[in-house]
Amino acid sequence: MATTERMASTPGSIAVHGDPLRTLDGICHADPLQLRGVDLLVIGVDARRARTKADFVAELDELGRTARDFPVSVPQIIAVIEHAGRREPWTYTMLRRWALSIHRRFQQVRGTDTVVTVLLVDSSTSPALVAKRIGELAQRPPGVNVAAVLSAQEIHNQTITEASTNDFI
């Protein structure tokens, strides 16, 4: 995974790491391994190349290993996963388990309650929508649901926090 760097040092700062995705255009990038005081860490994952369930699991495993290096102070992580457009029936369940495992690892090893949200997008997802929703999330405290999986359609008319709360309830 590559890291794109640009400073993002305003309140509600966002660090972006991982694969460069078109859907993340318009979001300020900063190196999450160097920047302290980040309110939200966004990780781009290009899963379009995953042709099988095993390939998809390998992408998540790599992402999980990378997450161990992120600063302890990050209260929220959002993994933006761009997929080929078709979702298998197991996708949401697998991603929810993965997000929960990252949350638990941070909780047990670091003693922090880091909220992990997965946003599934495809090539038709608007970068402006994603930037708007992620910007809103960076300005808010972590939500109720510590491990949520959402689609771009779910955040079309509501914030990520609202959609995560609906997913939790």
Per residue in 100-124, pLDDT (tens digit) is: 988 888 888 777 788 889 999 988 8
Query: What's the CA gap between 115 and 168, in Å, rounded?
Result: 13
Cα torsion at 162, 119, 131, 114 (round to 10°)? 70
CA distance linking residue 122 with residue 113, whole number of Å: 29
Q: What is the mean pLDDT of the chain?
A: 78
Find the mean pLDDT for residues 124-151: 83
For the record, the structure tokens of 104 come out as: 């638990």
Which class in CATH covers the domain with range 14-168? alpha beta
149: β partners: 118
Helix (H) or strand (E) holding 133: helix 127-138
Percentage of residues in the chain with pLDDT exceeding 70? 79
Which uninterrupted H or E stretch holds 98? helix 91-105
Residue 14 confidence (pLDDT) above 50: yes
